Amino acid sequence: MIDRNNPIPLYFQIKNKIFEEIETGKLKPGEKLLPERELAFRYNVTRMTIRQSIRTLVDQGFLKSKGGSGTYVLDRHPHRPKKDKKAVNTKIIGVFVRDIQRGIMIDLIRGIEDKAIDAGYSTIICNTENRWEKANLYADQLIGNRVQGVIYTPIQELENGGKKEAGNETIIKKFIDNDIPIVLVDHACKSIETDLVVSDNFAGGYEMTKHLIESGHKRIAVIYDFLETSIEDRIDGYKKALSDHNIEYDESLVRNVKDYGFTDSFSKDVKDIISNLKTTAIFAMNDLLANDIYYHAKKNKLNIPNDISVVGYDDLPFANELKTPLTTIHQPIYQVAVESFKIIHERMQQPETHFKKIVLQNELIIRKSVKNIK
């Protein structure tokens, strides 16, 4: 039900689960919530934790507590006309994340929430799970609730034929058409201009590749899962570093892995990349993929870094805890979150200002997963 190992507070996890039940219609307008003691039993937490979750949803206008009666789901009339800015008295920011428990999303949420609280705003976290239908539903609900701004992490892959660019554009335009400012984080949507906050992915790809080359590696494989603007920039940085060091680019070394994780298919991919492509290093486009490669290297009885060097991207907390600590690129995700909230806040005050693109600098973190083969 909830993840006690997750750094996201228990009350916040429960708040999001109740929120999802409201958004999906499982909890209908006017319906009474279970009593606190029953919710506490369901989630195996204290009544104080449940009370905190409910109070947050009450403050955000999703629930209403009636003394001596209980707590009820409010009817929020999601199909309202375009909002009248003078009538808005709520201070709510919508935040779209791809997976609340994976990758960089936790630091992103933490940074946005910290700044929002300081400015007197509440946040609604929309965990899309990379699903078009869910993102689209959240967009309609946030518009219905007249949020004052949205921070959007674009969907990486959509079920509707994989047309993620068109899908993301549709969602972004919904907010624009309703005069709701929106800022994109992590990567852009090429087909529509918006405010954008990213880290310098080109420089990150370049610096990591340069580090591998200076350690003697020339056959450097690249593995990625989703091809988006941030990954394209990292690969462009990889190519430029090769060119600057007079190493010919080999497209067979750049591989899109769809069936990743602890699968037999990925295990075969790793073995093929190392054995048949004669690589000495693998540049994983995120730390989660790098962690999967560690697993498959061990499965194939390969030692990191003696048999194959592996590097990642993001600098997630586990990267330094691996048996062989992972060399990676640190992204300033907390600062990305802070800057994205600043833009939204400014945009709400001055909607006619020019779109901003903020690019923050990364840092190469050298650990022990790269062997010097000079």
pLDDT-derived band of residue 255, with 50, 70 and 90 as boundaries? very high
Please give the Cα distance from 301 to 278 (Å, whole number): 16
For the whole model, what pTM was predicted? 0.77
pLDDT surpasses 70 at 256: yes
Of 198-202, 259-263, 363-367, 368-372, give the lowest mean pLDDT range.
259-263
Q: Which of 93-97, 169-173, 273-277, 323-327 has the highest mean pLDDT?
A: 323-327
CA distance linking residue 64 with residue 58, whole number of Å: 6
**Range of weakest confidence among 32-36, 59-63, 222-226, 227-231:** 59-63
- Round to whole Å and give the CA distance between 192 and 189: 6
CA distance 96 to 138: 9
Beta-bridge mates of residue 282: 221, 310
> What is the reported pLDDT for 158?
53
Query: What is the structure's pLDDT at 353?
Result: 77
| pLDDT, averaged across the chain | 87
pLDDT value for 123:
87
User: Is 247 within 8 Å of 212 (Cβ atoms)?
Assistant: no
CA distances (Å), origin 262, targets 98, 115, 295: 21, 37, 7
Residue keyed to tokens 């047309």: 163
**Residues recorded for the chain:** 374
Whether 247 shows a pLDDT value over 50: the answer reads yes
Q: Band of the pLDDT at 83, cuts 50, 70, 90?
A: very low
Domains annotated on the chain, with CATH:
10-73 (1.10.10.10), 90-199+336-359 (3.40.50.2300), 201-331 (3.40.50.2300)
CB neighbour class for 258 (10 Å; exposed up to 12, middle 13-18, buried from 19) = exposed
* 160: confidence class by pLDDT, cuts 50, 70, 90: very low
pLDDT at 90: 60
Mean pLDDT score, 91-115: 83
Q: Taking residues 144-155, report their average pLDDT.
A: 88
Q: How far apart are CA 155 and CA 118, in angstroms?
A: 28
Quick one: which of 61, 58, 55, 34 has its CA closest to 141? 61
Contacts with 192 (C-beta within 8 Å, 6 or more apart), sequence order: 169, 172, 173
Distance from C-alpha of 315 to C-alpha of 284, rounded to nearest angstrom:
12
User: Average of pLDDT values for 180-197?
Assistant: 91
Give the number of other Cβ atoms within 10 Å of residue 365's Cβ.
17
- Which candidate, 5, 9, 55, places its Cα nearest to that of 33? 55
The pLDDT of residue 79: 44
Q: 96-100, 180-184, 300-304: lowest mean pLDDT where?
A: 96-100
The pLDDT, as a whole number, for residue 102 is 65
pLDDT of residue 103 exceeding 70, the answer is no
* pLDDT at 148 exceeding the cut of 80: yes
**Helix (H), strand (E) counts: the chain:** 11, 14
> Which residues, 6+ apart, have CB-to-CB distance to 217 below 8 Å?
280, 281, 309, 370, 373
